[in-house]
């Protein structure tokens, strides 16, 4: 415990409660002059409102950005297809007990102490509970994000799925949106925005990476680790999990906790990675300066982190290993999978062929991560062919192939997409990529907890600057028309200078 924390716990031995904390937040925001005064000209097109910024996605990235934009006096509308309070993976597809991130990180608090997870937690549970807390429970993080959304007054419309994104020249972007109605029906609507930000998460421009060996296996026999699925259905079944990353451990543990007969982890590597290299790269210099690095350095760092692979958290690994019916099979690459009739006419099963031999299982989970794959995002079909990718910019000395890096968008300084061939998709630069695929261009500042506020501040500032330049005629006219006197002319009497000077 730090000396400061000792003092705090002595000053407030019992929690102040969330209602009192909300008052503190409101006061802090008032002190910071938040939100800043609006200054953007209202825009319409054919009588329809053109929003200044529409953010697709109201996870932690979208929330942080909306707050950052409000600090710049810019209103943002957030659209999310998820129901309210279920944005992102935390309460839907994630299965870990706790976050990997240390509890002390300030995440999407945007530099406001009262908005941190720590402040929110202590207000409700007290200092002693904070000192005792190991890592942040997954669902508690979701609760925190729900609260953050409320106290920062984020304007979110849930149940709104963006189905098409169309730049309309150098003026605006049209979004086709399917809106879920209270009766379950869908209504189609068009939204217009001057700028659109895709804050769409880890699989923001793609989806699950699915190995070829399961493509012909009936879908009832396998799932990707990111699929929504009721793991109670695995009770009494033999399960195999491909992979050894954090999600593989979470899926294996969840299956075991739901009564799977056994779980075989099929691990291609001879050993499970032990060191999380991305932790060492997370210094402020990278956060602020990755974008300005020469291409060769950007590539080298990201490729190295990808190739080294991130180990599963220790807690997640122990959560699996404590089960006697969990088997860590290393050096075990899957070569093919078939559904076959069971022995002696028994129930059918999976035969999983590996470099170690054939495993028999009833269900397979592939925990093989995510990939950039526009085909999995039909909502971007209009723009996808025009987006310049790093493939076209790969440094000459990049000796090793890296599909993820090749497929990453080559972003401009405001996270904006750039055109493959200039002139073929005017307005593409009005769409900004604030999600995981921005990592090669900007470093990890567009989604993960450690630097999400840095990324949001950077993007909000860049958008304010772009808007100002675009509207400079309006601001010039306003400057000239400005006529709010600070003096009335009654404050002083002009002197008769002739009486004051020596002739
Ligand atoms: C299982 C898991 C565990 C993780 N654990 C950690 C961790 O411990 N620490 C850490 O720093 N990072 C972690 N991450 C990485 C990262 O922090 C999370 O992915 C986080 O959710 C990113 O926040 P986000 O706001 O960028 O995206 P998300 O939280 O994924 O939010 C994106 C939102 O966009 C919406 N959306 C997408 N497409 C559309 C569309 N077409 N129309 C409307 N809405 C759309 C989605 O519904 C979603 O709510 C984890 C990721 C995963 C998958």
| pLDDT per residue as tens digits for the range 195-239 | 999 999 999 999 999 999 999 999 999 999 999 999 999 999 999
Q: Is the CB of 89 under 6 A from ligand 1?
A: yes
How many angstroms does the Cα of residue 86 sit away from the middle of ligand 1? Answer: 11
- For ligand 1, say whether the CB of 203 is within 6 Å of any of its atoms: no
CA atoms within a 13 Å half-sphere pointing along the CA-CB vector of 90 = 24
Is any atom of ligand 1 closer than 6 Å to the C-beta of 286? no
Q: What is the pLDDT of residue 279?
A: 81
Q: Model confidence over 27-48: pLDDT tens digits? A: 999 999 999 999 999 999 999 9
List, for residues 244-255, the tens digit of each pLDDT value: 999 999 999 999
The residue-averaged pLDDT of 479-490 equals 96
For ligand 1, pick from 88, 146, 193, 281 the residue to mutate: most ligand atoms within 8 Å of CB: 88
Reference 123, options 1, 21, 13; nearest CA is: 21
Q: What is the pTM of this model?
A: 0.95
Distance CA 374, CA 319 (A): 35
| Span 121-161, pLDDT tens digits | 999 999 999 999 999 999 999 999 999 999 999 999 999 99
Q: Whose CA is nearest to atom 16 of ligand 1?
A: 448
Nearest to 438 by CA among 312, 327, 290, 319: 290
List beta partners, residue 178: 161, 188
Predicted confidence at residue 13, as pLDDT, reads 61
Q: Are 468 and 211 in contact (CB under 8 A)?
A: no
d(CA 387, CA 402): 18
What is the C-alpha separation between 339 and 360, in angstroms, rounded?
10
CA distance 88 to 436: 13
Q: State if residue 202 touches ligand 1 by the CB under 6 angstroms criterion.
A: yes
Q: In the prediction, which pLDDT does 281 show?
A: 77
Confidence band for 401, pLDDT divided at 50, 70 and 90: confident
pLDDT at 1: 45
Q: 236-239 — which CB contacts under 8 Å span 24+ positions?
A: 236/260, 236/261, 237/261, 237/361, 237/362, 237/363, 238/262, 238/264, 238/349, 238/360, 238/361, 238/362, 238/363, 239/263, 239/264, 239/361, 239/362, 239/363, 239/364, 239/365
Q: How does the average pLDDT of the chain come out, rounded?
A: 95
Nearest CA to ligand 1 atom 37: 200
Give 344 or 20, the one with higher predicted confidence. Answer: 20
pLDDT in tens, 351-398: 999 999 999 999 999 999 999 999 999 999 999 999 999 999 988 777
What spacing in Å lies between the alpha carbon of 10 and ligand 1's midpoint?
A: 38
- The residue whose CA is least distant from atom 3 of ligand 1 is 94
If you measure from the C-alpha of residue 203 to the centroid of ligand 1, how many angstroms do you get, rounded to a whole number? 8
Quote the pLDDT of residue 400.
74
pLDDT at 394: 87
Percentage of residues of the chain with pLDDT beyond 70: 97
Q: What is the pLDDT of residues 296-335, one digit of tens each?
A: 999 999 999 999 889 999 999 999 999 999 999 999 999 9
- Look at residue 345 in the predicted model and tell me its pLDDT: 66
| Residue from 89, 226, 455 whose mutation best tests the ligand 1 pocket (most atoms within 8 A of CB) | 89
pLDDT tens-place string over residues 55-109:
999 999 999 999 999 999 999 999 999 999 999 999 999 999 999 999 999 999 9
Tell me the C-alpha distance between 490 and 503, whole Å: 30
Q: At what angle do helices 138-151 and 117-132 cross, to 10 degrees?
A: 150
Q: Is the CB of 379 under 6 A from ligand 1?
A: yes
Cβ–ligand 1 contact at 194 (below 6 Å):
no
Beta-carbon contacts of residue 158 (< 8 Å; ≥ 6 apart): 58, 80, 81, 82, 83, 84, 87
Distances (CA, A) of 91 to 36, 357, 435: 33, 37, 19
Q: Is 367 in the pocket of ligand 1 (CB under 6 A)?
A: no
Residue-range domains of the chain with CATH: 3-204+445-472 (3.50.50.60), 210-274+311-368 (3.50.50.60)
């Amino acid at each position: 415990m730090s000396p400061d924390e000792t003092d705090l716990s002595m000053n407030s031995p019992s929690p102040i409660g969330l209602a009192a904390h909300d008052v503190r937040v409101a006061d802090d925001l008032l002190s910071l002059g938040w939100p800043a005064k609006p200054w953007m000209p209202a825009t319409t097109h054919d009588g329809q409102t053109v929003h200044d910024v529409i953010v697709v996605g109201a996870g932690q990235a979208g929330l942080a950005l909306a707050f950052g934009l409000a600090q710049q006096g810019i209103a943002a509308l957030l659209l999310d297809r998820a129901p309210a309070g279920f944005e992102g993976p935390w309460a839907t597809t994630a299965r870990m007990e706790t976050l990997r991130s240390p509890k002390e990180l300030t995440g999407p608090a945007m530099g406001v102490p009262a908005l941190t997870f720590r402040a929110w937690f202590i207000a409700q549970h007290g200092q002693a509970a904070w000192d005792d807390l190991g890592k942040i429970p997954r669902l508690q993080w979701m609760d925190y994000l729900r609260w953050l959304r409320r106290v920062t007054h984020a304007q979110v419309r849930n149940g709104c799925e963006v189905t098409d994104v169309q730049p309309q020249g150098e003026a605006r972007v049209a979004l086709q949106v399917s809106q879920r109605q209270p009766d379950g029906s869908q209504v189609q609507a068009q939204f217009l925005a001057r700028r659109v930000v895709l804050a769409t998460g880890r699989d923001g421009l793609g989806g699950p990476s699915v190995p070829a060996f399961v493509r012909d296996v009936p879908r009832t026999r396998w799932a990707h680790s990111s699929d929504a699925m009721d793991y109670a259905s695995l009770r009494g079944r033999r399960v195999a999990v491909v992979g050894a990353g954090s999600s593989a451990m979470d899926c294996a543990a969840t299956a075991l906790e739901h009564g799977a007969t056994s779980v075989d982890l099929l691990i291609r590597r001879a050993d499970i990675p032990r060191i999380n290299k991305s932790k060492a790269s997370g210094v402020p210099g990278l956060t602020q300066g990755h974008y300005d690095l020469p291409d060769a350095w950007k590539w080298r760092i990201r490729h190295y982190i990808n190739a080294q692979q991130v180990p599963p958290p220790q807690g997640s690994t122990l959560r699996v290993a404590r089960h006697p019916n969990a088997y860590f099979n290393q050096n075990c690459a899957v070569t093919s999978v078939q559904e076959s009739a069971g022995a002696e006419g028994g129930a059918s099963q999976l035969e999983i062929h590996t470099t170690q031999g054939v495993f028999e299982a009833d269900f397979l989970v592939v925990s093989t991560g995510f990939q950039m794959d526009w085909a999995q995002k039909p909502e971007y079909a209009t723009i996808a062919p025009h987006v310049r990718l790093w493939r076209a910019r790969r440094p000459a000395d990049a000796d090793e192939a890296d599909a993820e890096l090749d497929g990453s968008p080559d972003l401009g300084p405001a996270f904006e997409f750039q055109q493959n061939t200039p002139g073929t998709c005017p307005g593409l630069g009005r769409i900004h990529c604030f999600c995981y695929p921005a990592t090669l261009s900007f470093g990890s500042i567009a989604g993960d907890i450690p630097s999400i506020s840095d990324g949001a501040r950077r993007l909000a500032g860049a958008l304010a600057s772009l808007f100002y330049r675009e509207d400079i005629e309006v601001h010039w006219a306003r400057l000239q028309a400005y006529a709010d006197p600070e003096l009335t002319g009654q404050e002083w009497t002009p002197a008769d200078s002739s009486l004051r000077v020596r002739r």
